[in-house]
Amino acid sequence: MHRDSDRYRLFSRRSIILGGSQAVLFAALAGRMYYLQVVESERYTTLAEENRVSLKLLAPPRGRIVDRFGRPMAVNRQNYRAMLIPEKAVDVARALDTFSKVVPLSEAETERILREVGRKRRFLPVLVRENLTWDEVARIEVNAPELGGVSIDVGESRHYPDGIYTAPVLGYVSAVSEKEMTGDPLLELPGFRIGKEGLERVHDEVLRGRSGTSQIEVNALGREIRELERREVQPGAEAWLTVDLELQKYTARRLGEQAAAAVVMDAHTGDVLTLASTPTFDPNSFSRGLTPEEWRTLIGDPRSPLNNKAIAGQYAPGSTFKMAVALAALETGAVTPDSRVFCPGHMELGDATFHCWKPEGHGFMNMVDGIVQSCDVYFYEIARRTGIDRIAAMARRLGLGAKSGIDLPGEKSGLIPSRAWKKEVKGESWQTGETLLAGIGQGLFLITPLQLAVMTARLVNGGKAVRPRLTKELIPVDARESAVPDLPAFDSLDIHPSHLDLVTNAMAGVINSRRGTAFRARIKQAGRRMGGKTGTVQVRRISKAERETGVLKNEELPWEERDHALFVGYAPVDNPRYVVSVIVEHGGGGASVAAPIARDILREVQERDPSRGRPRAWLPEDGVSGPAEREG
């Protein structure tokens, strides 16, 4: 028993050591538990909540854009899309490979998808293909077991029913580029589009609306268990434009395939009824995503379809500038309406000879004759008497040479030079010859078609500083008040009414008197007669030799050397309401090319009379309820 008691003592001692160390380890467990469940509890609670709840962003439907009568110009269409969640697909390249066996993917598409997968967070879905047909949707659903990570959802895509006619006004939406990512998760939604040009860009944030969120309880596989909380989306506001869609379409069609622009405005309100630039592009293809080939065609076209010529095309005003010169001369007292100038067909200044468009000369001209017959010598002379700085000041008052402030991006300011400007920019002093040229709107002068329309409006509305606008109202879907303030009262330009009357009457004579340069383009219908002014701008120098042998006709010249054809007009002559400006690049003569176009547009706008009554021949379409009532 002695040996056993030895053994027992050893055993007991070691049992106690063992028990002690086990107690220490047990205490360690308890301590760890305390640390995790009490000390760090808050952190882990947050993590558990993040685990459990997945926040899903709900995209708001983009606000519609409608014309002044509520006719839809930009709408949303249902769009079946195949999405891929990289995290779930595991091997993205293989998943796409399988997908393209079901619905073929081009190499460019695959590249884009892989690029997007690379730059987005792995649990965010990436757009594989949109605008799927029913047949494609069915094929994808049938093959769903092999297409891990691919799912179908219904999104909305922007659609422009009359895209090729409305593109200069609306612009387009397209995919968010990397630079445009602001960190707003909405922008990271697959297939999300933002406005890139035109009103889509200007009103992007308002049209976009506010995203909703849906908090979804998910399990470890990301499968949705139930919705915990939902914040509804706030759809984008609806934009009501000043544009008359039918007139816009008519005008764009009338301009045809030429490189041209036309602006129609209400002279009193500044409502832009039409803003056309041709040729243009199909904004639907931008929304969809251009193929490289389409892109090359667009940028390779010498008629520059991507350039909105109505606001960003800059041209010398030519003879359409003569009203500004005349007003400057009258207002400063340099001439009286009856001051007479003799036109022998040219004018000498030093060594230089300045030619009239009519080589045989017009004879004695007063101001009305000068405008009606567009006598160049008459304007050389009164420009010389008035001086460049006064002419420039009047041009600016009429809205030339500065941005009009229209609600479109990319507007160009044009250029109205002055002595100080030339000194500063070119470092040279002004030459009298340049003043002479300014009299006929040639030289360094640059204006945009929109500025010409604004100028004409200011001439015929009694000298008010009307400003153009395209947006009438932005109406939030759930509110009734408008987001654009009422039309401001326009300041007076302080031009003597009799001077304005004289000039506008002369413009009426341009069209309606037999000697007028655009007599052939007149409107004969009583009460709808128009007034206007032609302009023809040389884009090349005519050499002395050529002048002697006979100036080449436009038809004999290559397209890019032909003259620009310009016209500004208004109607009706007795109570002017609508103004129009037309520019046809390399179109030829203002009287022969631009004037007939302007006449047709003015005839159409008076027929429709969008500023007053409701449109004829237009009935509410399905889903568009009585927007015409808003007009009342």
Partner 1 sequence: MALSSSHDPELTLGRKIRQIPWVFVLLVTMTASVGFVMLYSAAGGNLEPWTSRQMPRFGVGLAVMLVVAVTDIRLWLRYAYVFYGLSLALLIAVEFVGAVGMGAQRWIDLGFVSVQPSEIAKVTLILALARYFYASRVEDVGRLTHLFVPALLIAAPVILVLGQPDFGTAVLLLFTGVVLLFLAGVRAWLFAFAGLAAVAAIYPVWQFVLLDYQKARVLTYLRPENDPLGAGYHILQSKIALGSGGLFGKGFLQGSQSHLNFLPEKQTDFIFTVLAEEFGMAGGFGLLGLYLLLLIYGFAVSLRCRNHFGRLVAMGITSAFFLNIFVNVAMVMGLLPVVGIPLPLISYGGTAMLMLLFSFGLLMCVFVHRDIALGPGAASGD
Residues labelled catalytic: 319
CB of 92 to partner 1, least distance (A): 16
Name which of residues 269 to 328 contact partner 1 (CB under 8 A).
none
Neighbour tally for 169: CB within 10 Å: 27
DSSP letter for each residue of 185-242: GGGGSTT-EEE-SHHHHHTHHHHH-B-EEEEEEE-TT--EEEEEEEE--BPPPEEEES
Q: What one-character DSSP code corresponds to residue 334?
A: S
Question: How far apart, in whole angstroms, are the C-alpha atoms of residue 536 and residue 559?
Answer: 15
CB of 86 to partner 1, least distance (A): 13
Given candidates 108, 138, 225, 352, which one binds partner 1 under the rule CB under 8 A? 225
- Does residue 38 interact with partner 1 by CB under 8 A? yes
Name which of residues 50 to 89 contact partner 1 (CB under 8 A).
51-52
The one segment of 4-12, 159-167, 394-402, 623-631 that binds partner 1 by CB under 8 A: 4-12
CB of 39 to partner 1, least distance (A): 9
Segment holding 99, helix H or strand E: helix 92-102
Q: How many residues bind partner 1 (CB under 8 A)?
A: 40
The one segment of 217-225, 257-265, 415-423, 534-542 that binds partner 1 by CB under 8 A: 217-225
Is the distance from CB of 147 to CB of 95 less than 8 angstroms?
yes
Residues β-bridged to residue 150: 84
Structure token digits, residue 134:
């029913």
- Does residue 10 interact with partner 1 by CB under 8 A? yes
Q: What one-character DSSP code corresponds to residue 445?
A: -
Name which of residues 146 to 205 contact partner 1 (CB under 8 A).
none
Residues β-bridged to residue 79: 155
Given candidates 107, 135, 178, 221, which one binds partner 1 under the rule CB under 8 A? 221
- Does residue 616 interact with partner 1 by CB under 8 A? no
Question: How far apart, in whole angstroms, are the C-alpha atoms of residue 613 and residue 611?
Answer: 7
Residue 36 or 352: which CB sits closer to partner 1?
Answer: 36
- Does residue 217 interact with partner 1 by CB under 8 A? yes
Segment holding 396, helix H or strand E: helix 388-397
Pick the closest to residue 157 from 23, 24, 283 (CA basis): 283
The one segment of 41-49, 68-76, 415-423, 451-459 that binds partner 1 by CB under 8 A: 41-49
Given candidates 58, 157, 220, 455, which one binds partner 1 under the rule CB under 8 A? 220
Is the distance from CB of 443 to CB of 417 less than 8 angstroms?
yes
Name which of residues 13 to 32 contact partner 1 (CB under 8 A).
14-15, 18-19, 22, 25-26, 28-30, 32
Contact pattern from residue 88 through residue 117 relative to partner 1, giving x for each residue in contact according to CB under 8 A and a dash for the rest: ------------------------------
- Does residue 229 interact with partner 1 by CB under 8 A? no
Structure token digits, residue 504:
């506008």
- Does residue 559 interact with partner 1 by CB under 8 A? no
Question: How far apart, in whole angstroms, are the C-alpha atoms of residue 160 and residue 467?
Answer: 27
CB of 37 to partner 1, least distance (A): 4
Residue 344, preceding peptide bond in cis (omega within 30° of 0): no
Helices (H), 426-574: 432-439, 449-460, 497-512, 544-549
User: Which residues of the chain form contacts with partner 1 (CB under 8 A)?
Assistant: 3-4, 6-8, 10-12, 14-15, 18-19, 22, 25-26, 28-30, 32-34, 36-38, 40-41, 43-45, 47-49, 51-52, 217-221, 225
